[in-house]
Amino acid sequence: MSDQHERYHGLDVLRALMMCLGVVLHTAQLYTVMDIRDYYWDPMRSFSLDVLLITINTFRMPVFFALSGFFTALLLDRRGFDAMWQNRMQRLLLPFLLFLPVLSLIMGALRILAYNLMRDGELGFDVGVLDGTGRNLFDNTHNLWFLYYLLLFLFCIKLFFKPPVLERMNAFVKKQGFSLMSASVIFPCVMLMAALGSLHDSGRIGASLSFIPQWDVFLFFGLCFVLGWVLYQNLGQLKPLMKYRWWTLLVAVLCLLFAFACFSLKTNAADQFIWHMALSVFTAISIYSFICAFIGLFTHGFHRFNRFVRYVSDSAYWVFIFHSIPLIVIALPMYFWPIAAEIKFLITCTGTYAVCFWTYHHWVRSSWIGERLNGKRLG
């Protein structure tokens, strides 16, 4: 058993950062050259924001799901199966059921307004503008998709891995001394990530917002979840992760650059299959290395309590749930502004953060919503 009072401040901060980066990611998505027309796509676009979006997308959710696996294993270890299950249902299922209907209503209306603006040059509420995308109004978990998949993982644990089975599995992992830095873990994980990623043109797995689970998304992020679970079973792994944090970050960045090059070269190459497989492998190595690098960096850099950092960590859950609404509301009025996409990006991103933190501080932090998201605050 681990120290019942130890708090992993660095991993708390890292989890919060991954959630808060959703604002940057989804703002960049409005101004990319790539046609990613979800809720809105601005006339002003920049390739620099494509690079930013792809870079963040490479590591953000894999790191987040790995941390989710870590903290779920921690809860199981410290409180037992029943308490862990109750905590996860309160912190995941309840917010999902509470906020999804509100998000669906508001974001559905904003989608219709934005699509009318893009088609006619003015706001309108002609539902016909959605054409074949109308099902997105109903079959859509919005930015709560990560909660949906976490809940699926937990229900699988509940159904197929009873407490005695989990105890034996955890004991086996501890006895074998599996480490995220060992070749016996790295090689099969990277190969599985690459194989799943190769099924997509981008060479990696992205989000799935449908209520119908995608098997490849489930397996990919399930693997990330398991990596975090394995990390908790052998906390001694944190030392080598901290020791080699800059090296693993260098590997992650270099492999991401190689992946960019492969993606660019495969477009016009005669042997596209080879370049696509290279893209998938380099992307997988980059993802795995980012997971290890960020865990090492944040464990080393944020090992002590800091009041401001804790405040930001507490606010991150709300920021990620709520941010899509102010983001689109701020972006739409700038549709006709003939200014650089980067400037629009900065205005939208900054404004969204400001609204999210203001609403958290004044409406959420001390309310029953804040208690549902973060538990009771002590002091």
Alpha carbons 55 and 199: distance in angstroms, whole number: 19
| Higher-confidence position of 170 and 330 | 330
Domain membership of residue 15 (yes or no) is yes
Does position 204 have pLDDT exceeding 60, yes or no?
Answer: yes
For 50-80, give the DSSP string: HHHHHHHHHHHHHHHHHHHHHHHHHHHHHH-
Residue 152 pLDDT level (bands cut at 50, 70, 90) = very high
In this predicted structure, what is the pLDDT of residue 378?
43
For residue range 19-45, list pLDDT tens digits in order. Answer: 999 999 999 999 999 887 778 889 999
For residue range 52-105, list pLDDT tens digits in order. Answer: 999 999 999 999 999 999 999 999 999 999 999 999 999 999 999 999 999 999
Does position 235 have pLDDT exceeding 50, yes or no?
Answer: yes
Sign of the Cα pseudo-torsion (356, 359, 360, 361, in order): positive
30 and 40 in contact (C-beta within 8 Å)?
Answer: yes
What average pLDDT does range 230-252 have in this prediction? 94
- Specify the number of domains making up the chain: 1
Domain membership of residue 97 (yes or no) is yes
Q: Determine the structural domain holding residue 289 and report its residue range.
A: 9-374
CA nearest 21: which of 56, 71, 47? 56
What average pLDDT does range 284-302 have in this prediction? 96
CA geometry: angle 248, 51, 139, nearest 5 deg: 100
What average pLDDT does range 327-340 have in this prediction? 94
Domain membership of residue 267 (yes or no) is yes
Does position 376 have pLDDT exceeding 70, yes or no?
Answer: no
Does position 226 have pLDDT exceeding 90, yes or no?
Answer: yes
In this predicted structure, what is the pLDDT of residue 107?
92
Domain membership of residue 1 (yes or no) is no
Domain membership of residue 153 (yes or no) is yes
In this predicted structure, what is the pLDDT of residue 306?
81
pTM attached to this predicted model: 0.93
Domain membership of residue 190 (yes or no) is yes
Domain membership of residue 81 (yes or no) is yes
Does position 370 have pLDDT exceeding 80, yes or no?
Answer: yes
Does position 354 have pLDDT exceeding 50, yes or no?
Answer: yes
166 and 229 in contact (C-beta within 8 Å)?
Answer: no
Domain membership of residue 239 (yes or no) is yes
| Higher-confidence position of 224 and 160 | 224
Question: How would you label 292-326 residue by residue, b for 16+ Cβ within 10 Å and e otherwise?
Answer: bbbbbbbbbebeeeeeebbebbbbbbbbbbbbbbb
What percentage of the chain carries pLDDT values higher than 90?
Answer: 69
The radius of gyration computed from the CA coordinates of the chain, to the nearest angstrom, equals 21
